[in-house]
Amino acid sequence: MNATILHFSHSGNALKSLFFLGLAAAAFWLTFEMLDDRRDRPSPMQALPGGLTLPAPTPRPNPLAPLKILVLLGAGSVSLFYGGRHAARALSRRAAIKIEGGSLHFNPSFGAMPDTWPVEHIDVAIFDRADRLPEGPALAIFGLGSGAAKFGARTRHGLYLHYRRGSETGEARIIDNDVDGGAEQLRRFAAQLDMWRDARDPSDR
């Protein structure tokens, strides 16, 4: 396997897509349930001693319900985004990242950042256990800081890259189950990247 190219793992990204789409479905379903509970409905009747029947007291609305609905909508939307991104990666025939001509070339699924990064402008490149890498937006948004999530991160490895050229910055974070060859291929790719960075013109540093 070419150490200068990372290819997306179709099975790994398909599983991640299903996971995030499941989270999105759960969030939107809970949102629908909360909105349904807020509808005005006829109060149920209650029987009192003596055969008297009166409407039951109307339950007090939860004052935090609007905030919870907004949070669920936000979480569902973010989950839908990540589910779609991993689905695109699972179906992609293009390389995830490749080193070519002194630059890193990224698959468009990495989002709002340059598709090509000159190696000399990569100021941070870290290959390490996933729990030691800077947090990505998904971890921050979903609050995946639970014991189970941290244990899962300790069993994975990842590559974190940060790009800076003047005021332009970007970052990429890719985990071993995102790519074919897993942690070993990521390690070999990171070693190749270090060689390119060490060989660059010292005046560019």
Q: Identify whether residues 99 and 141 lie together within a single domain.
A: yes
Residue in 93, 118, 96, 98 with CA at minimum distance from that of residue 107: 96
Give the pLDDT confidence score for residue 145 in this predicted structure.
45
Task: Average the pLDDT over 95-99 and give the result.
Answer: 93
- Give tens-digit pLDDT for 149-179: 556 677 889 999 998 888 888 888 899 999 9
Res 142: pLDDT: 46
Cα separation of 147 and 159, whole Å? 22
Query: Is residue 196 one of the residues assigned to a domain?
Result: yes
Residues 127, 72 share a domain: no
Which phi and psi angles does 64 have, rounded to 5°? -90, 0
Instruction: Please indicate, yes or no, whether residues 39 and 123 belong to a single structural domain of this protein.
Output: no
* Strand partners of residue 168: 165
**Cα(first)–Cα(last) distance of the chain, in Å?**
30
pLDDT, one tens digit per residue, over 32-87 is: 888 876 565 555 666 666 666 666 666 666 677 788 889 999 999 999 999 999 99
Note whether 87 and 101 are same-domain residues: no
- Please write the tens of the pLDDT for every residue from 101-128: 889 999 988 876 678 889 988 988 999 9
The fraction of the chain above a pLDDT of 90, given in percent, is: 44
Specify the CATH number for the domain of residue 128.
Answer: 2.30.29.30
What is the predicted pLDDT for the residue at 85? 92
Phi and psi at 57, nearest 5°, equal -60, 140
Structure pTM? 0.74
As for how many domains the chain has, the answer is: 2
Q: Which of 195, 115, 193 is nearest to 161 (CA)?
A: 193
Please indicate, yes or no, if residue 144 is contained in any of the structural domains: yes
The residue segments making up the domain with residue 106 are 95-200
> Are 166 and 132 part of one and the same domain?
yes
Model confidence at 205, pLDDT cuts 50, 70, 90, reads: very low
